[in-house]
């Protein structure tokens, strides 16, 4: 198949198991972690969680007493190897679901979700070749799962997939996972570049503008056959970056996008 996602032999065996119906499950909030002023991570315990692949998401459904329902998708932040499932949610002040998940939900509460979902925006360390990750705002979440997954892999497979991450956020305070990224970025085969689209601190050494062609040209791997790109965040950013990468010569089938919609940034 030409879509680029090809299973390795071991994984094929695992996947050969009969697919099951996707059920709504009630996950329990084990703990919460503030990531920034606007984002927090929910650490969840999900009964009979079947495991996930880096890049997948869950659907969260909220039902009010009077039957009113809202449903949204949230990417999985944790590595497939992690015993708990983690979601990171950025609060949109005028949003319907994200303020609930960021402010109302507390440890011990249940939250209904189904997943893991989506086989298209998925990366596994067995897919050797240079990896380019581009995130805008909360678009870092599924890419973090990929980075965490990669960091847990054997040295040899890591060496086959050097990674570059370009992460765009409004201000330095809006960078999610900042300290963990700093740690991950100190590895020789990981290069992380940041760009802030609004104010930057006086000692800021990263970029300080919206992603444009020269910026992306400086950070992205030169186009080559084996390079894969995953681009995630607000829809306008994702579309601009994906179009530029294809113009740079990236194989369109290897530029995978996950548009988050109008996420306010």
Residue whose tokens read 């009113």 = 68
Give the C-alpha separation, 96 to 137, whole Å.
18
Angular region, 177: left φ>0, alpha ψ -120 to 50, beta rest: left
Per DSSP, what are the bridge partners of residue 258?
232
What's the residue count for the chain? 265
Is 59 or 180 the residue whose CB approaches another protein more closely?
59
166 binding partner (options another protein, ligand FAD, none; Cβ < 5 to 8 Å by kind): none
141's contact among ligand FAD, another protein, none, with CB below 5 to 8 A by partner kind, is ligand FAD
Burial bucket for residue 144 (CB in 10 Å: 0-12, 13-18, 19+): buried
Residue 10 sits in the site that holds another protein (CB under 8 A): no
Binding of ligand FAD at residue 95 (CB under 6 A)?
yes
Figure out which of the listed residues 96, 109, 218, 247 binds ligand FAD, where binding follows CB under 6 A. Answer: 96
> Max Cα separation, the chain?
56
For another protein, the closer of residues 26 and 128 by Cβ is 26
Residues 98-127 that bind ligand FAD (CB under 6 A): 98
Query: Min. distance of Cβ 170 from another protein in angstroms?
Result: 17
Phi-psi region of 115 (alpha: psi -120 to 50; beta: other; left: phi over 0): left
Does residue 100 interact with another protein by CB under 8 A? yes
Q: For binding to another protein (CB under 8 A), which residues are involved?
A: 1-3, 5-7, 15-17, 19-24, 26, 50, 57, 59, 61-66, 68-70, 73, 94, 96, 100, 104, 109-112, 114-122, 234-236, 239, 253, 256-262
């Amino acid at each position: 198949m030409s879509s680029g996602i090809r299973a390795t032999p071991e994984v094929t065996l695992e996947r050969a198991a009969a697919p099951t119906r996707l059920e709504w499950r009630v996950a329990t909030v084990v703990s919460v972690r503030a990531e920034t002023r606007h984002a927090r991570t929910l650490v969840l315990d999900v009964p009979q969680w079947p495991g996930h692949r880096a890049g997948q998401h869950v659907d969260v459904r909220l039902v009010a007493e009077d039957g009113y329902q809202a449903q949204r998708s949230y990417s999985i932040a944790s590595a497939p190897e992690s015993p708990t499932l983690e979601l990171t949610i950025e609060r949109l002040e005028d949003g319907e679901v994200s303020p609930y998940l960021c402010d109302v939900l507390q440890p011990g509460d249940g939250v209904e979700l189904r997943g893991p979902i989506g086989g298209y925006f998925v990366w596994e360390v067995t897919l050797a070749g240079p990896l380019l990750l581009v995130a805008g705002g909360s678009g870092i979440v599924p890419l973090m799962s990929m980075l965490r997954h990669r960091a847990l892999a054997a040295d040899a497979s890591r060496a086959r997939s050097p990674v570059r991450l370009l992460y765009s956020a409004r201000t330095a305070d809006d960078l999610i996972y900042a300290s963990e990224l700093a740690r991950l970025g100190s590895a020789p085969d990981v290069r992380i570049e940041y760009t802030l689209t609004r104010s930057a601190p006086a000692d800021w050494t990263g970029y300080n503008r919206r992603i444009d062609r020269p910026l992306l040209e400086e950070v992205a791997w030169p186009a080559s056959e084996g390079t894969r790109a995953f681009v995630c965040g607000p829809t306008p950013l994702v579309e601009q970056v994906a179009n530029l990468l294809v113009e740079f010569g990236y194989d369109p089938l290897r530029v995978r996008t996950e548009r988050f919609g109008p996420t306010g940034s």
